[in-house]
Amino acid sequence: MKEKRIILIGAGLAGSLLAVYLAKRGFYVDIYERRPNMRTTKISAGRSINLALSLRGLHALQGVGLDQDILKIAIPMKGRLIHAPEGALNFIPYGNNDTEVIYSVSRGQLNMAMMDLAEGYDRVKIYFNKRCTGINFTTGEAEIFDETTGETSCVKAGTVIGTDGSASAIRYDMMKIGRFNYSQSYLEHGYKELSIPAGPGGKFLIEKNALHIWPRKTYMLIALPNLDGSFTCTLFFPMEGGVSFASLNTKEKVRRFFDEQFTDAVPLMPTLIEDFFSNPTSSLMTVKCFPWHVGHTASLLGDAAHAIVPFFGQGMNCSFEDCVVLDECVGRYGDDWEKIFSEYEALRKINTDAIADLAVENFYEMRDLVADPAFILKKKIEHVLEEKFPDRFVPKYSMVTFRRMPYSIALSRGKIQDTILSELAFGKSNVNEIDWNKAEKLVNEKLEKLI
Amino acid sequence: MKEKRIILIGAGLAGSLLAVYLAKRGFYVDIYERRPNMRTTKISAGRSINLALSLRGLHALQGVGLDQDILKIAIPMKGRLIHAPEGALNFIPYGNNDTEVIYSVSRGQLNMAMMDLAEGYDRVKIYFNKRCTGINFTTGEAEIFDETTGETSCVKAGTVIGTDGSASAIRYDMMKIGRFNYSQSYLEHGYKELSIPAGPGGKFLIEKNALHIWPRKTYMLIALPNLDGSFTCTLFFPMEGGVSFASLNTKEKVRRFFDEQFTDAVPLMPTLIEDFFSNPTSSLMTVKCFPWHVGHTASLLGDAAHAIVPFFGQGMNCSFEDCVVLDECVGRYGDDWEKIFSEYEALRKINTDAIADLAVENFYEMRDLVADPAFILKKKIEHVLEEKFPDRFVPKYSMVTFRRMPYSIALSRGKIQDTILSELAFGKSNVNEIDWNKAEKLVNEKLEKLI
């Protein structure tokens, strides 16, 4: 029997997990990673320091036996803790029970754990400081540039999967061949990471088990807990215009702005000004493309195929789900990569498009959260409907985060639910005024029972 | 006073016309064109052999005094001549009078005439066989590869405009800098050029003054007249699937298919089979991007900024209108290119997006034209409404083709008009059944008076 070999480009979260799935199927996997080995060299973990792991991601980790280990280094967040401008707090739980939580994990720790697991298989090799500079889609050869020696060589397994992230080199090459649909679109907002350090003895200075949000209509600050007692904060903020990264260009302006808008956070951020001017301002992009594969020689997976904005906390979870679906296709078709890639992209494309749109939508929800009484009322109605009709009405956030139904179904049911909520809330200002008979009628009429 | 100099990349239709506009404003213009000089070397004229020139394009040509010369080598087309499968003909005029016609022109002849005009100015130089391989957006330098000598050199004017078409090298470079929104999307259909030669003595073997259409639901054939009595035919056809370019893979299949579907055309196409297999199958793409400019150093114009599908016959007309708008901005801001580019793209982007969407829509209209009685009824109602309410109701086709109102207005008014037509036609099968009082009420209510 011939040796089944495959090349992955990129040993980030998606690449490392995919390598484990493929190794378990008996494949020899060579991963070429452009960065140094993060377990022996101190480097930035990539796009953002921490991530929200939820059911889809956990399920994918469970498939390779990694879920329990990761949960040990994760912090459960039970809901959103909303910080109003004058400092008032309002806790909004994510789910209806204690198991409906999301987990703050460190991108670096997670990635290192998965690289360790991957390299635990003899069949998996990770080559660091190796940048892919081109793909021959006819032969499946990859051109590899060695960042340390400056030499270029060719490697070949016949099949290459690009797990090389939102700026994928493989996808870039696919654009040069005909009839490749592609879009990249930027939000007007960018982001900057800031920090709330731990208190004495690693004490959490704000609620540990929550995702903190300071929503301010056109922008927002969020904070996620880290194991050492610190919080990683992210300011999502317009790039240009009146109140923007471009206009906050002096220490005094930044100080005054934060004092006014994030009054309760400022005393906890001793390095605010330094961080603001030394940390990069990053942009927020959605990438969609199709097809994801070229014959049996190449395909894309994870951010390389579908970079999304971070507002639903699903980027990583979605990429991990890609691995599960691809693995199921491998289960059906062995090493017939043309069939595997075709079915995988047919199953996934509609869903990754859906989460991309959901993620953009959720930005507007998050930053407007406390400001709009109509929105708060709808959230209250939603909560009641979920309790009354658990087999039909599941809030959009829960469908995405605590269920594994296809994202496309979550999107379409979410839209129907929105119309129901709008109809029930119309002209009302209090949840006690809602006509629950009408609600029952609408829910039964418009929402199929969930299987 | 310092010399005002600018570089254009590409001496196609948009580049040649823009050069003339800029020369008239006193600029020195250097055009780098990757192809040989088409006036001395026999080369393909580019994407398609003939084009439909209409009011917007004529107006732009008039601005440089070229309209009358071009009309001499153009053939007026007064309407669509629809060829039914069994050979029946049905003529649908484009407009309500003799001046509402469009013109079939040869891309090559038009381009050559405009190059001649451009080079008539001492200030304009066209360099052929010079391919732009990169732009430095900080300095405005362009890297130029000489196709004949193989040498690379740098040229600099401080400002470069990419008029280098749908596969623009300048736009490609813009994608590499941050926050550039971009999309390319392909239709499932491609196209192939075929031919109906002239009869004896240059006789037109089918109606000369019409755009011929053989609409067949999922595909269509069209034919435009040439000065020598021939017609250039274009088959718009699915790329893949049951009936497609991929499936018509033998001479017998092509022959049988054409005999069945285009019965009246086949006897006029003696080289059908040779043409079918020797002419390329081309794809149909829409490109949108934003922003179009980088500081004062570079901008895009024409297909480079907004490639559209050909179904509204507006690709060239739209690019020519770009030149007029850019020229007006030059009129306002002299050589302050940052201001010129900003205003030009703000004025144009909304309109080029609109024509891109209108062009895709029109494909479905054209190929379904004779097949759907509901559509035919709406066209008849439309015709009456136009006569009854000429200052409010102008058919979408006329707004785009015979008026110079912004494309975005044509798109939005077109949508309103569609809802009016649908409401009037609902449940009706004949134009005599229409409630004209209701029509008047709807038109007055929903459509602002045109200025």
Q: Residue B294: which pLDDT band, with cuts at 50, 70 and 90?
A: very high
Specify the DSSP class assigned to residue B251: H
Q: Do A179 and B186 touch (CB under 8 A)?
A: yes
State the amino acid at position B144 in one-letter form. Answer: I
CB A417 within 8 A of CB A395: yes
Any B CB within 8 A of A2 CB = no
Structure tokens at A50: 């921490």
CB B307 within 8 A of CB B14: no
Q: Whole-angstrom Cα distance, residue B292 to residue B311?
A: 24
Which residue in chain B is spatially nearest to A285 when comparing CA positions? B179
List CB contacts of A323: < 8 A, sequence separation 6 or more: A14, A17, A18, A21, A60, A301
**Per-residue pLDDT of chain A in tens (451 residues, 90 and over written 9):** 567 999 999 999 999 999 999 999 999 999 999 999 999 987 765 556 789 999 999 999 999 999 999 999 999 999 999 999 888 998 988 887 788 999 999 999 999 999 999 999 999 999 999 999 999 999 999 999 999 999 999 999 999 999 999 999 999 999 988 899 999 999 999 999 999 999 999 999 999 999 999 999 889 999 999 999 999 999 999 999 999 999 999 999 999 999 999 999 999 999 999 999 999 999 999 999 999 999 999 999 999 999 999 999 999 999 999 999 999 999 999 999 999 999 999 999 999 999 999 999 998 887 776 567 888 899 899 989 999 999 999 999 999 999 999 999 999 999 999 999 999 999 999 999 999 999 999 999 999 999 8
Average pLDDT, chain B: 94
Which residues from chain B sit within 8 angstroms of residue A168, using beta carbons?
none
Q: How far is A285 from chain B (nearest CA, A)?
A: 8
Q: Do B178 and A283 touch (CB under 8 A)?
A: yes
Q: How far is A132 from chain B (nearest CA, A)?
A: 17
- Measure CA of the first residue to CA of the last residue in chain B; give whole Å: 42
Q: Classify the C-alpha dihedral B74-B79-B80-B83 as positive or negative.
A: negative
List CB contacts of B331: < 8 A, sequence separation 6 or more: B25
CA dihedral A244, A250, A252, A258 (to 10 degrees): 30
The CATH number for A186-283, chosen from 3.40.50.11810, 3.30.9.30, 3.30.450.40, 3.30.465.10, is 3.30.9.30
Any A CB within 8 A of B283 CB = yes
Which residues from chain B sit within 8 angstroms of residue A281, using beta carbons?
none
CB A127 within 8 A of CB A29: no
| Nearest alpha carbon to residue A275 among A43, A89, A49 | A49
CB atoms under 10 Å from CB of B289, counted, come to 23
User: What DSSP string runs through B287-327?
Assistant: EEEE--EETTTEEE-GGGT----GGGS-HHHHHHHHHHHHH
Coil, strand or helix at B262: coil
Of B179, B183, B186, the CB nearest to A183: B183
Question: Residue B415: is its pLDDT beyond 90?
Answer: yes
Which residue in chain A is spatially nearest to B290 when comparing CA positions? A185
Which residues from chain A sit within 8 angstroms of residue B180, using beta carbons?
184, 186
Q: How far is B221 from chain A (nearest CA, A)?
A: 22
Please give the pLDDT value at position A174.
96
CB atoms under 10 Å from CB of A436, counted, come to 12
Which residues from chain B sit within 8 angstroms of residue A182, using beta carbons?
182-185
User: What DSSP string runs through A350-372?
Assistant: HHHHHHHHHHHHHHHHHHHTTT-
Q: Do B184 and A181 touch (CB under 8 A)?
A: yes
Determine phi and psi for A323, rounding to 5 degrees: -60, -40
Which residue in chain B is spatially nearest to A181 when comparing CA positions? B185
Q: How far is A211 from chain B (nearest CA, A)?
A: 28
Best B166, B171, B175, B179 residue to mutate vs chain A (most A CBs within 10 Å): B179
Any B CB within 8 A of A178 CB = yes
Which residues from chain A sit within 8 angstroms of residue B191, using beta carbons?
none
Q: Do A183 and B184 touch (CB under 8 A)?
A: yes
Half-sphere exposure of A349 (CA within 13 A, CB side): 16
| Nearest alpha carbon to residue A53 among A230, A407, A309, A317 | A317
Which residues from chain B sit within 8 angstroms of residue A178, using beta carbons?
283
> Mean pLDDT throughout B412-439?
94
Any A CB within 8 A of B184 CB = yes
Q: Do you find a cis peptide bond into A267, omega within 30 degrees of 0?
A: no
pLDDT in tens, B70-99: 999 999 999 999 999 888 998 988 887 788
> Mean pLDDT throughout B354-369?
87
CB atoms under 10 Å from CB of A18, counted, come to 30
Q: Whole-angstrom Cα distance, residue B402 to residue B202?
A: 30
Q: Do A183 and B182 touch (CB under 8 A)?
A: yes
Of A181, A185, A239, the CB nearest to B181: A185
Strand duo A28-32 + A5-9: pairing: parallel
Any A CB within 8 A of B176 CB = no
- For A430, B28, B36, B126, B303, the CA distances from B129, given in Å and listed in that order, are 73, 20, 5, 10, 20
CB B188 within 8 A of CB B238: yes
Q: Which residues pair with A165 in a beta bridge?
A: none
Please give the pLDDT value at position B65.
94
- For A71, A114, A126, A251, the CA distances from A66, given in Å and listed in that order, are 9, 8, 19, 44
CA A165 to chain centre: 12
Please give the pLDDT value at position A153.
97
Q: How far is B307 from chain A (nearest CA, A)?
A: 14
Structure tokens at A413: 């049911």
In chain B, domain spans: 5-75+107-183+285-362, 186-283, 372-446
Which residues from chain A sit within 8 angstroms of residue B181, using beta carbons?
184-186
| Nearest alpha carbon to residue A402 among A89, A59, A84 | A59
User: What DSSP string runs through B353-411?
Assistant: HHHHHHHHHHHHHHHHTTT-HHHHHHHHHHHHHHHH-TTT---HHHHHHT--S-HHHHH
Instruction: Indicate whether this model's pTM tops 0.90.
Output: no
If you count residue pairs, one on A and one on B, with CB atoms under 8 Å apart, how many are there? 32
CA A208 to chain centre: 21
Q: How far is A184 from chain B (nearest CA, A)?
A: 5
Determine phi and psi for B76, rounding to 5 degrees: -65, 135
| Nearest alpha carbon to residue A223 among A237, A208, A234, A236 | A234
Question: Residue B58: is its pLDDT beyond 90?
Answer: yes
Question: Residue B172: is its pLDDT beyond 60?
Answer: yes
Best A179, A184, A188, A283 residue to mutate vs chain B (most B CBs within 10 Å): A179
Any B CB within 8 A of A177 CB = no
Q: Do B283 and A178 touch (CB under 8 A)?
A: yes
Which residues from chain A sit within 8 angstroms of residue B283, using beta carbons?
178-179
Q: Whole-angstrom Cα distance, residue B335 to residue B312?
A: 34
CB atoms under 10 Å from CB of A162, counted, come to 31
CB B370 within 8 A of CB B221: no
> Mean pLDDT throughout B148-175?
96
Count of residues making up chain A = 451
CB atoms under 10 Å from CB of A338, counted, come to 15
The CATH number for B5-75+107-183+285-362, chosen from 2.60.40.420, 3.50.50.60, 3.60.90.10, 3.30.70.360, is 3.50.50.60
Any B CB within 8 A of A185 CB = yes
CB atoms under 10 Å from CB of A331, counted, come to 10
State the amino acid at position A142 in one-letter form. Answer: A
Best B173, B175, B185, B288 residue to mutate vs chain A (most A CBs within 10 Å): B185
B119's enclosing H/E stretch is: helix B107-119
CA angle A203, A204, A210 (to 5 degrees): 155
State the amino acid at position A402 in one-letter form. Answer: F
CB B304 within 8 A of CB B171: yes
Any A CB within 8 A of B273 CB = no
| Nearest alpha carbon to residue A348 among A397, A396, A302 | A302
Which residues from chain A sit within 8 angstroms of residue B184, using beta carbons?
175, 180-183
Residues 202-241 of B with CB under 8 A from A: 239
Which residues from chain A sit within 8 angstroms of residue B186, using beta carbons?
179-181
Q: Do A179 and B185 touch (CB under 8 A)?
A: no
Coil, strand or helix at B218: coil
Coil, strand or helix at A169: helix
Q: Do you find a cis peptide bond into A291, omega within 30 degrees of 0?
A: yes
Q: How far is B182 from chain A (nearest CA, A)?
A: 5
Please give the pLDDT value at position B10.
98
Q: Residue B374: which pLDDT band, with cuts at 50, 70 and 90?
A: confident
| Nearest alpha carbon to residue A101 among A450, A383, A398, A404 | A398
Q: Residue B370: which pLDDT band, with cuts at 50, 70 and 90?
A: low
Of B175, B178, B186, the CB nearest to A181: B186
Count of residues making up chain B = 451
Please state at what angle helix B55-62 crosses helix B315-333, rounded to 10 degrees.
40
| Nearest alpha carbon to residue B215 among B372, B367, B91, B81 | B367
Which residue in chain A is spatially nearest to B179 when comparing CA positions? A186
Any A CB within 8 A of B138 CB = no
Q: How far is A446 from chain B (nearest CA, A)?
A: 26
> Mean pLDDT throughout B173-194?
94
Q: Whole-angstrom Cα distance, residue A104 to residue A81?
A: 14
Q: Whole-angstrom Cα distance, residue A333 to residue A347?
A: 15
Please state at what angle helix A13-24 crosses helix A315-333, rounded to 10 degrees.
20
Q: Do B283 and A239 touch (CB under 8 A)?
A: no
Q: Do A186 and B181 touch (CB under 8 A)?
A: yes
Q: Do B182 and A184 touch (CB under 8 A)?
A: yes
| ipTM greater than 0.85 | no
CB A298 within 8 A of CB A311: no
Which residue in chain B is spatially nearest to A175 when comparing CA positions? B184
Question: Residue B45: is its pLDDT beyond 70?
Answer: no
Please give the pLDDT value at position A370.
57
Q: Whole-angstrom Cα distance, residue B25 to residue A364?
A: 47
